[in-house]
A and B are shown apart, each in its own frame.
Chain A
């Protein structure tokens, strides 16, 4: 850490050395020459090879292993994880969800689709504790999600991403993910001030897991970039990594493909499958039919706050009610 000649000891340009070293210029004159090709500024926004920090991350299998969800989930594939039981949501006179029931099973990718205003996001918010149902209940992992706090819901094992990206934009990508891992940590103020062993262990774990998560979603090289400076697609991936960092049993993706081009959607499909194969359960809310049909195991369709269909993707694609909801009903049929 203290080799005075290591190349890492300077990122700033050579002229800045002179500028700031005038009181004790002797310290780092030796490496001035190496710095000259560096552009001014922007120097932190460089891609970094995480495998050089932690060699374990060079192997995709090890990365998936670090990221993986609890074994218990794999053991119970197919058992219900989340159950919506006759959930009704009313906002004043508006009924956004009307007696909606469905289950999400462990280890599956469930698609929740419907035309604009169908109540997808409301259902999503009811599940993640943003709204409390007017009637009915949501049961997660065998227990009702009653009136517990939102951060407690995350600790129970539901994580989400946001339709309009909501990263902590002043933080680096890695720091964003580490905030997610913090959900599982218990250090509080005294532990942090005194740097107690648990704090040190949790901090190191958080960084290791954070780097693995970034590698897992494919943006490991951007670890030190500020979130706001990331390209759009990487921001979406970072949101997924941050949600996975909370070690969820259920990962809810709210229109993750919004604004993506076909190639990016293709990559997203692969990523979602990879997440499922790693032991997570995924709920996908999406407009893009091709993505939904291509990646989900089962689909629930909402329209005007009601569930109009549920089934395998092929069934849904054939379902007349769904086709009517999306394409409208021909005039002669209504007459």
Chain B
């Protein structure tokens, strides 16, 4: 498994990340293939969110090699990652609370708009035509996520489960090559989880998004993902298809908290 295989979208090789003396990630290697749903799981503090932050360029690892879309990368800002086609949602919803659902999703299109802010503000001529084009994409996402009824509701007024859905919508609006989901189902009830699972699977199958997700609900993870990587204390302890990972004694030990 290396970056030379054409179906690999992202590969991490021997990545290590430390904050001062604290090692968040130690010597971790794995890859994400095009079109798959890849789960990253592990107990609290295992380094999952740090790993997501490394992937989208928020943290730069001290050691290791990252290759995205065939290009090796060293140091980059999250905005560059976004431009390269990496979108993400956050553990705690990070939306513009005062803006409507539609406007929030439209912000996901911003990188795709070629006219500058001046023309956008003027809403005239080519900028207007462009906005209509982008609005169409957003409307398709609204239809896809079944949130027509809240199109014009400020997201601050929405219940948590719907805010999560809007956040997914904004990430999808970027038409990302890689979609990072940080605990997309945290704090949801069973029905909301089922809905969200459906949207993730559909985003993957229908819209062809490659997805990497962190999730605590192991049942959901095993149902959704094609492959699972398991972290513990910043190290990789398993990496395989769900059925194998499920019966891996190391994984079971990590989750049951057995000392070793």
The answer to whether A and B assemble together is no
Chain A residues with CB under 8 Å of chain B are none
Interface residues of chain B, those whose CB is within 8 Å of chain A, are none
